[in-house]
């Protein structure tokens, strides 16, 4: 069990880490700094598919809920990965006119820096840009944790009540402001943005024209965006308050927690 003091030290060390620099002993002691590895695209695809096949949805959902209630981003990351990988398919490295894979967006040869992966896992809590190494690693870490079902979910309940109450004209940036103001939420702006993106990955925040990754695999690098200047991920980039919360996705992920479903 990681104490709040230990978690704060880990987060601080990860915030200070830059690729190629000396690794803080705090990260080594916590097991968050294994040696970097060189892997091929095809190896990472196999790694991801193996971890997805091992995944227990109920366990990963329970981790996510614990992560929300205790403000621990790394416990939320597995759900983003599982949703993103739901329809991920077996495929070889495939290019047309670009250097990266036209199916998943990864390059043919990858340098896997596990400290950087843990930096995203602990400081964002969500897969960024559909990175397949993040997806594989986050699932691997989630699969190694046995999380009992949480009973009380006051903060998660308040978050979904807040989302359902957003005006029809609301955009993700408006939700970001409200989320960070919500009593009990202790997220940096980056964490809060990643949390909202995660809900899009899970299809909880989507639009009929732009479904979440629960419905189909989408290469985040090729996904459409609402504008050239937008830095929200697909599909939440297109969400408005009028779209609300997608009930089918809520039931799929949180059917065992009726207090989170619309009454």
Say what the alpha-carbon torsion angle 59, 138, 92, 90 is, to the nearest 10 degrees: 10
Each residue's pLDDT tens digit in the chain (263 positions)? 578 899 999 999 999 998 878 899 999 999 999 999 999 999 999 999 999 999 999 999 999 999 999 999 999 999 999 999 999 999 999 988 778 999 999 999 999 999 999 999 999 999 998 899 999 999 999 999 999 999 899 999 999 999 999 999 999 999 999 999 999 999 999 999 999 999 999 999 999 999 888 888 988 877 888 887 788 989 999 999 999 999 999 999 999 999 999 75
Beta strands in the chain (DSSP E): 37-40, 109-112
Task: Report the alpha-carbon distance of residue 85 to residue 123 in Å, rounded.
Answer: 21
Q: What is the pLDDT of residues 134-155, one digit of tens each?
A: 999 999 999 999 999 998 999 9
Task: Report the alpha-carbon distance of residue 215 to residue 86 in Å, rounded.
Answer: 8
Find the helix packing angle between 189-201 and 73-85, rounded to 10°. 30
């Amino acid at each position: 069990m990681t104490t709040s003091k230990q978690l704060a030290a880990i987060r601080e060390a990860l915030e200070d880490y830059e690729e190629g620099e000396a690794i803080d002993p705090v990260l080594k002691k916590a097991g968050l700094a294994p040696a970097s590895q060189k892997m091929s695209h095809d190896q990472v695809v196999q790694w991801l598919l193996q971890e997805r096949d091992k995944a227990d949805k109920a366990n990963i959902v329970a981790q996510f809920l614990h992560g929300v209630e205790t403000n621990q981003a790394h416990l939320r990351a597995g759900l983003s990965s599982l949703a993103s990988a739901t329809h991920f398919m077996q495929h070889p490295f495939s290019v047309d006119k670009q250097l990266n894979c036209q199916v998943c967006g990864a390059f043919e040869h990858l340098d896997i820096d596990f400290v950087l992966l843990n930096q995203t896992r602990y400081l964002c809590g969500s897969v960024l840009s559909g990175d397949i190494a993040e997806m594989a690693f986050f699932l691997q870490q989630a699969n190694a944790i046995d999380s009992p079902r949480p009973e009380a979910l006051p903060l998660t309940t308040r978050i979904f009540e807040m989302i359902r109450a957003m005006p029809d004209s609301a955009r993700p940036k408006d939700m970001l402001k409200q989320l960070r103001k919500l009593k009990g939420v202790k997220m940096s702006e980056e964490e809060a943005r990643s949390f909202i993106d995660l809900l899009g990955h899970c299809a909880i925040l989507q639009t009929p024209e732009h479904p979440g990754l629960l419905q189909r695999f989408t290469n985040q690098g090729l996904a459409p965006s609402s504008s050239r200047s937008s830095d929200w991920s697909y599909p939440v980039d297109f969400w408005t308050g009028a779209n609300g919360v997608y009930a089918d996705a809520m039931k799929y992920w949180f059917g065992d927690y009726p207090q989170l479903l619309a009454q």
